[in-house]
Amino acid sequence: MSYFNFINYDDSFYMIWRMFMKKQFMKMTLAAAFMLLMAVPAHALTLDSVLGNQSENTANTAVSAPSTEGVGSYEQQVIDLVNKERAAAGLPALTLNTKLAGVAEKKAEDLRDKNYFSHTSPTYGSPFDMMKQFGITYKAAGENIARGQQTPSAVMNGWMNSQAHKNNILNKNFTQIGVGYVTDSNGGTYWVQMFIRP
């Protein structure tokens, strides 16, 4: 003689429970996906050589000179939005450094082309090493990066809602800015802000 113990669920109860759980799972999945899409995947990095933190590790990578032409419309809009935030905080406007803008553009291209999202480039090293490789000298420097935002106002909104990025934008030690912006073939966007005090 064999003994089996089992519970017989009423089919209607089971079906209702299963539908409820599917709805809950879908709600949670959609909420998680929305949060991932709305999250600003961005990083901020600051270095103030006055504090003795300047990196001395410079990679021996041959680099071509970045463009020193003017900046594009989106880049200029970001600069204007930065200066609007600085004015609201009682800080002086940052001036465009076209050579720094060229370096920021190179960094944005590197983020896209090498498919990474970090301040440390596999090509150029840290942003501070990269600036040095392109002949940018500074006493203080910082970098903000972001990807996925479609407009200057969207990327600035994300940066201003992140304390570390906001700190770079409103850093009283910085006097110059360069902005880089590139897209990929799928419509992905890559943004770089570089700040210095020469």
Looking at the chain, the whole-number percentage of residues with pLDDT higher than 90 is 64
Binning pLDDT at 50, 70 and 90, where does residue 71 land?
Answer: confident
User: Helices 152-160 and 73-88 meet at what angle, rounded to 10?
Assistant: 40
User: Using an 8 Å Cβ cutoff, are 88 and 119 in contact?
Assistant: no
Closest alpha carbon to 196 in 180, 170, 168, 177:
177
The one-letter code for the residue type at 10 is: D
Can you tell me the mean pLDDT for 18-22?
59
Question: In this structure, what CATH number is given to the domain that contains residue 88?
Answer: 3.40.33.10
Can you tell me the mean pLDDT for 58-75?
58
Same domain, 80 and 109: yes
What tokens does 96 get? Answer: 């465009």
What SS3 state is found at 2? coil
For 56, left (φ over 0), alpha (ψ -120 to 50), or beta?
alpha
What CA–CA distances, in Å, run from 95 to 6, 83, 99? 76, 9, 12
- Which residues lie closer than 8 Å to 161 by C-beta, 6 or more apart? 40
Same domain, 24 and 52: no
Report the C-alpha gap between 159 and 129 in whole angstroms.
23
Report the C-alpha gap between 193 and 105 in whole angstroms.
9
Look at residue 16 and tell me whether its pLDDT is greater than 80. no
Report the C-alpha gap between 196 and 36 in whole angstroms.
31
Binning pLDDT at 50, 70 and 90, where does residue 22 land?
Answer: low
Query: Is 156 among the domain residues?
Result: yes
Look at residue 162 and tell me whether its pLDDT is greater than 90. yes
Number of neighbouring beta carbons within 10 Å of residue 144: 31
What tokens does 111 get? Answer: 């983020």
Query: Is 109 among the domain residues?
Result: yes
Q: Into how many domains does the chain fold?
A: 2
Can you tell me the mean pLDDT for 14-33?
54
Report the C-alpha gap between 170 and 192 in whole angstroms.
16
Q: Using H for helix, E for strand and C for coil, what is the string for 85-110?
A: HHHHCCCCCCEECHHHHHHHHHHHHH
Q: Scanning the structure block, which residue is given the tokens 């992140």?
A: 162
Same domain, 58 and 138: yes
Domain that holds residue 145: 41-197
Choice between 93 and 65, residue whose per-residue pLDDT is larger: 93
Residues 88-115: tens digit of each pLDDT: 999 999 999 999 999 999 999 999 999 9
pLDDT of the residue at 52: 29
Same domain, 35 and 45: no
Same domain, 57 and 114: yes
> How high is the mean pLDDT of the chain?
79
